[in-house]
Amino acid sequence: MAGAFRMRHVHRRGSPASCHSQKSGILMKRLTSCLIAASLAFAPVVAVQAADQPAQQEKAAANFSDAELKSFVTAAIAINDIGERLMPKMQAAEDQNAAAAVREEGLAAMRDAIQNAGLTVDEYKQIAQAADSDEGFRQRIAEVASTMQ
């Protein structure tokens, strides 16, 4: 009896639906960390904009196409990768000037990643800002991201 249970258990773990669920979970975790990294990278600018236009941001969340959200996810993943790549350099910086140089390198690379994904920096910031404040919009981004596998 125990052997039969194990076989069913193994079969379920290896099923295509289970694998898809695992991939979706991994993608969601990565997307979440990308959104956090993106928020941190552009936090000062986004904070100023958020204070200026809170009502407009809610309206804007509904206006982004799935293609724009796919571009956002692509850029967010690239930004996360840039952050991971530059973190050791930042930690190894010997003084504030070296740290500032690494930060500038990172910001330039992030701007390039956003533009290479097909967005302007302002569009990226608008999406990040809306995602930061709107759980439903974050869920929509996650749904779009799950189709990108």
Residue 45: what pLDDT?
A: 45
Do 35 and 80 touch, CB atoms closer than 8 A? no
Q: Cα separations (Å) of 86 from 82, 94, 98, 147? A: 6, 14, 12, 29
Structure token digits, residue 15: 């099923």
Q: Is 15 helix (H, G, I), strand (E, B) or coil?
A: coil
CA distance 39 to 126: 11
Residue 50: what pLDDT?
A: 46
Do 148 and 73 touch, CB atoms closer than 8 A? yes
pLDDT tens, per residue, the chain with 149 residues: 444 433 334 444 444 444 445 555 555 556 655 555 555 555 444 444 444 455 455 556 668 999 999 999 999 999 999 999 999 998 998 999 999 999 999 999 999 999 999 999 999 999 999 998 888 999 999 999 999 86
